[in-house]
Amino acid sequence: MNIYYFADILTVIFEAFMIFIFLETLFEERSIFPKWVYVIGVGILSGLLLLSNAVFSFNLLNAFAMALSVFIVSLMYKGSAALKLIASITSILFIGVIEIIVMFFITWIFNITAEEAVQIPEYRVLGIMVSKLAALAGFTILRVKLKGHEFDIGTSYWPLFFCLFANSIVAVFLLFKMSYELKDTPMNNLAIICSFGLLFSTIFALYLYEHLAKQSYEISKNKMLEVQLKEQLKHYDNIMMTQGQVKKIRHDLDNHLHAIKAYIEKDENENCLKYIERLIGGISKSDSYIDTGNTVLDAILTLKKTAAKEKNIEFNLKICIPKDLPMSHEDECIIFGNALDNAIEACDKVKENRYINVYMQYDRDKLICKITNSCANESDKPKVTTKKDEKNHGIGTDNIMKALDNYKSVSKVTRSDNEYELFFIIMDLI
């Protein structure tokens, strides 16, 4: 077995691995199969593809046999047979189209015929290497687009992604071009080995980035759940405290009524009014919790209202929403928790007219929200912007905007001399 046969085997294994990435993107793994079964599946598909290439060579029957091989291993995943058949044909067609495009560029760059590009082992291996890198890029883009909700890839992912594949493809071309010009067999073998090194290094880099992104996302998610739990516990503590105060008032209600009756009978109206005012003050203090029907939102609003009152900040609410607001609890914590934290922080820097106004309205599958607060005068000119910048928007606004991006939404941040406003509409909340 020479280096070219070995290269053919490795590229088929790589092709099988890519197809499994494609199947995993479209379908869900069966719970009855452990992970190692799918590793064996890659080996089985590699063997079927090698058998197909050996029997049918590079013709139309080979394409049908390869599609059938993919369909067989796709049975390891959940889903309808029709969709799996379509996915099997699509994956082979995509790989075939990429190979044709790459072969065209090879014939053009090296000034050879298509037959030479297929028959001469050096050109064929070069075409396979580049086409597999290009196909991997395509499958990875599809995977990130469809499965990106499972982890936050970050804004820097795509520039790095395209640089990684562009550098790998250019490096493979240069290695083979150099080895051809030198007409040295050992150099050809070295070019093939280095190309495979680049190929598998690219896979490892993508896997490592995705693994770290998932890990970071899980850590962030767990921290947010912890914050959410703490806020709910504080909310429940406030409710229990309030209920205790109400029970105490009810227990003493009989005594209070007798005292009021005594004042009235003795015609001591002034003392009676003072006594009633003290009772009203005690009841109003116990009425500090907010009850919209949404447990998570109640916890956040109650907690932030209490924090605002401790800082002598007026906290006004006008809310009309259903009990089961169709938003994830995590997003509610991120959006409203950060927005109110920013508002309290801004108000705390103002000496007079400290206020926070929260308006929320749910109407025909749309959530309309406007949060305004007083802020320090930092500019002589009004400023209207939707950019995410910590100086004008406060720490946490980036997270608010990312959470809003999970929905069909529009948002606007307005900053004037003495007031800051966050306005957004979330649509299609069903």
Distance CA 162, CA 105 (A): 19
Sheet of 314-320: strands edge to edge? Answer: 314-320, 355-363, 366-374, 419-427, 408-415, 383-385
Mean per-residue pLDDT over the chain, rounded: 79
Greatest C-alpha distance within the chain: 120
User: Which of 61-75, 171-185, 279-293, 356-370 has the least mean pLDDT?
Assistant: 279-293
Burial of 356 (C-beta count, 10 Å sphere; 0-12/13-18/19+): buried
Could you tell me the residue ranges of all domains in the chain?
3-225, 290-430
- Tokens 């990312």 -> residue: 402
pLDDT of residue 2: 59
Any idea which architecture 290-430 has in CATH? 2-Layer Sandwich (3.30)
3-state secondary structure of 382: coil
Looking only at the bridges linking them, the beta strands covering 408-415 and 419-427 are antiparallel
- The pairing of beta strand 355-363 with beta strand 314-320: parallel
Q: pTM of the full predicted structure? A: 0.52
Q: How confident is the model at residue 423 (pLDDT cuts 50, 70, 90)?
A: very high
**Tell me, what's the pLDDT at 185?**
66
Distances (CA, A) of 37 to 76, 294, 319: 9, 44, 53
What is the pLDDT at residue 186?
A: 73
Which residues, 6+ apart, have CB-to-CB distance to 270 below 8 Å? none
Tens digits of residue pLDDT in 239-296:
566 656 566 666 677 777 778 888 888 888 888 888 788 777 655 554 456 777 777 7
Amino acid sitting at position 236: Y
Least confident of 84-98, 130-144, 206-220, 407-421: 206-220
List strand residue ranges (DSSP E) for 163-304, in order: none
**3 state SS of 153:** coil
Identify the pLDDT of residue 324.
80
With a CB cutoff of 8 Å and minimum separation 6, the contacts of 36 are none
- What's the pLDDT at 159? 79
d(Cα 162, Cα 137) in Å, to the nearest integer?
8
> Is the Cβ–Cβ distance between 15 and 95 less than 8 Å?
yes
Report, as an integer, the average pLDDT of 170-189.
Answer: 71
For residue 154, what are the contacts with CB-CB under 8 A and spacing of at least 6?
Answer: 213
In this structure, the chain runs to a length of 430
